[in-house]
Structure 1
Amino acid sequence: MAATPEQLVTDAHKLFLIVATLAFGWVFYLLAPVLMPFFMAALFAYLGDPIVDRLEERKLSRTLSVSIVFAVLLTVGLLLFLVLIPLLTAQVGALFKRLPEYLGLFQSTTIPWLASLGFPVEIFDVSSIKQNLIDYWASVGQVAGSVFGYMTSSGLAILQWLTNLVLVPVLTFYLLRDWDDIVARFRALLPRRYAKQVIALSLECDDMLAAFIRGQLMVMFALAIIYTIGLSLVGLELALLLGVIAGIVSFVPYLGLIVGIGLSGVAAFFQFHEWLPVIMVVSVFGFAQLIEGVVLTPRFVGERIGLHPVAVLFAVLAGAQLFGFIGVLLALPVAAVVMVLLRHTHKRYLDSELYSTDQEQG
């Protein structure tokens, strides 16, 4: 049966959309390094838009609302840069300096215990590991010095860094101020035939992204604070570093708990040489897990994401492989959107004649 003109037009539209999507993805891949400041600005604008909308509901102008939110975001960013990063850097340095001591304790306490259990301890060449760590730390210092020397000697690198530093706040301000207009213009470009369906999908994707980007980031931030305070009360010297690491990896369900207990428990044992601090560390993470399950996740995230932990890990690794750091940032939001699209595709398949025919024949 020959195709009708309407079918040919529809097929042409589908082919055009597929080609356009592939072309856009290829251009995005090529321009990924250049797009970093624009992506960061769009992310900050997306995060701040609901707050701006709420301020507008209180009879404040859009520009004034944006200025308030922008000032808060800028202040938080400066505090993180000026306070948190130096503290983390200092703790990382302290960790590497104490690693030889920790390895010595491991050799004198843990290896004999493992040997008594029949574990093949020959695989642990502590002296070699210790020397490799010392050499690695020295090489890190040399690399850091070389990078700093390159940065100070290369005017182009400094100019690019300063440009991005200024460009992100400027882009964020203008995108945040005109966010509603930008969204409205995109909606106006949609074909009327598909506008209702596309808008419904967009709203569902937005709900999913809001649950993850805004909600999950709040959960990660809160967990990092709880972990850090709890480990500080235990007396761990590396409380801030371990708390931040556990908070960051908590986007994968239970991974923050496992990594946090593992690293913090080992650090507590090597620091205090007793089991009571290790038990206290486990109690800290158990309490944080209770708070996350009862308060944080229901309050900020809810049940709207539903990504399986394996899917989360795959999305992050695939994003890192394809697009590097930008891919890591984009991985889970894109996975959430893909899940929405797959859910709608599955629903359409169940309503299709293909599925109904298969069911009747079965």
Structure 2
Amino acid sequence: MSSANRWLWLVGLVLLAGLIYLLRPILMPFLVGMLLAYLGDPLVDRLERLGMSRTWGVALVFALFALLFLLMLLVLVPLLVRQLSYLYQLTPQGLDWLQLVALPWIQARFGLEEGFWHFDQLRVAVAGHLGSTTDILGVLVSHATRSGLALLVWVGNLLLVPVVGFYLMRDWDLILARLRALLPRRREGHVVLLATECHEVLGAFLRGQLLVMLALALVYAAGLMLVGLQLGLLIGVLAGLASIVPYMGFLVGITAALAATLFQSGFDIYPLLGVLAVFSVGQLLEGMLLTPLLVGDRIGLHPVAVIFAILAGGQLFGFTGVLLALPVAAVIMVLLRHAHDSYKLSELYGDSPPRA
């Protein structure tokens, strides 16, 4: 490739990135629809091999996705809302326990000064916020309906997701074939190799890491509820979702569970040991069974890179960016690894000249 062509490609990539950044408010249904199409395409291909038409296969897969989503709404969401409401009601009691029991104990142990925590200011701020409303759903509805246009845009984007996902899933193989036909003939093999490796990494993440998160959420929630923790379901689900970052789910979950146990049972040793046992079992299952079996070592993202990818995705594209941050980071990791190998074989890297 000549120098002029390289500059043209670079300018084109910069313009494309700027266009994507400007269009980010409307990209959510297309990105989520693309993700649904990517997840559902292997199932549709399998149904095609069984003799079903592509359109009917897509319809069946979408019905399966809709059923799973409906079950989640009907079963899991009411339970979580109930636990959030319970947590909302317990907040004043938790502040009393923190002020009268926990902080005096810490102050006596470490010899801190009186009023070191400025707890009165925190209590006034929290109490004022709690007094402003008594309904969590009312708060959410008030924020959502504050701007009628924003609410219409949000509803429109939500309705576009299944439409975009359906058509992309139906024409997925055709789109890939046309994209491959546009590749330069001399570079087709190399590009297909990169795409295949990216597909393996994405498949390992989407099928593996998401299953690990779901399994850990079930283990943590069931274990904490068996221990008798009243907020066990909420803390278990949050710990499972936080497991998308290595060790983050364990730290968040065990900290919240121990704090809730201390508030609920005081300094009784047996509930605390039960919480420690639940998270120890979860960590053993994750390290020895779930991650090696479901994920393997094909992703290889450093924990710092995972945190940066999630924060960067949220900053650039909001909630959609958070959902797509790690798959995109996994693809970038594959491309960077090949760029590193190419750099090591280039003349630029070459041996240093001998000293005079």
1:204 CA drift (Å): 0.7
Q: Aligned match of 2:192 in 199, 206, 223?
A: 199
More displaced 10-residue stretch of structure 1: 225-234 or 322-331: 322-331
1:210 CA drift (Å): 1.4
CA distance in 2, matches of 1:242, 1:359: 60
Instruction: Tell me which protein shows more helix as a share of its residues.
Output: 1
Show the 5 A alignment for 1:107-256: 107-120=99-112, 122-139=115-132, 145=138, 148=141, 156=149, 159-256=152-249
- Tell me the amino acid that sits aligned with residue 328 of structure 2: V
CA distance in 2, matches of 1:360, 1:186: 47
Q: Aligned match of 1:60 in 31, 52, 55?
A: 52
| 8 A Cα contact 2:32 2:161, kept in partner | yes
CA distance in 2, matches of 1:182, 1:97: 52
- Tell me the amino acid that sits aligned with residue 340 of structure 1: V
| 8 A Cα contact 1:261 1:285, kept in partner | yes
Partner of 1:39: 31
Q: Aligned match of 1:95 in 87, 90, 106?
A: 87
1:104 CA drift (Å): 1.6
Structure 2 residue 14 is the aligned partner of structure 1 residue 12: no
SS of match in other structure, 1:355: coil
1:215 CA drift (Å): 1.7
Partner deviation per Cα, 1:142-195 (whole Å, 9 max, x = no partner): 896476368669765554344333321122112111111111111111111211
| 8 A Cα contact 1:320 1:326, kept in partner | yes
- Tell me the amino acid that sits aligned with residue 87 of structure 2: L
Q: CA RMSD in A?
A: 2.5
Partner of 1:4: none
| 8 A Cα contact 2:144 2:151, kept in partner | yes
SS of match in other structure, 1:321: helix
Partner of 2:329: 335
Partner deviation per Cα, 1:274-303 (whole Å, 9 max, x = no partner): 221111111111111111122221222110
Q: Aligned match of 2:262 in 254, 266, 269?
A: 269
Partner of 2:300: 306
Partner of 1:355: 349
SS of match in other structure, 2:298: coil
| 8 A Cα contact 1:32 1:326, kept in partner | no
SS of match in other structure, 1:117: helix
CA distance in 1, matches of 2:149, 2:315: 28
Change (3 A) 1:165 1:335: closer
- Tell me the amino acid that sits aligned with residue 206 of structure 1: H
| 8 A Cα contact 2:133 2:139, kept in partner | no
Number of matched residues? 354
Percent identity (aligned):
49
- Tell me the amino acid that sits aligned with residue 250 of structure 1: S
Change (3 A) 1:147 1:100: closer
Q: Aligned match of 1:288 in 282, 295, 318?
A: 282
1:257 CA drift (Å): 0.6
- Tell me the amino acid that sits aligned with residue 94 of structure 2: Y
- Tell me the amino acid that sits aligned with residue 109 of structure 1: V
List runs of 5+ in structure 1 lacking aligned partners.
1-8
CA distance in 1, matches of 2:214, 2:128: 34
Structure 2 residue 61 is the aligned partner of structure 1 residue 69: yes
CA distance in 2, matches of 1:204, 1:354: 26
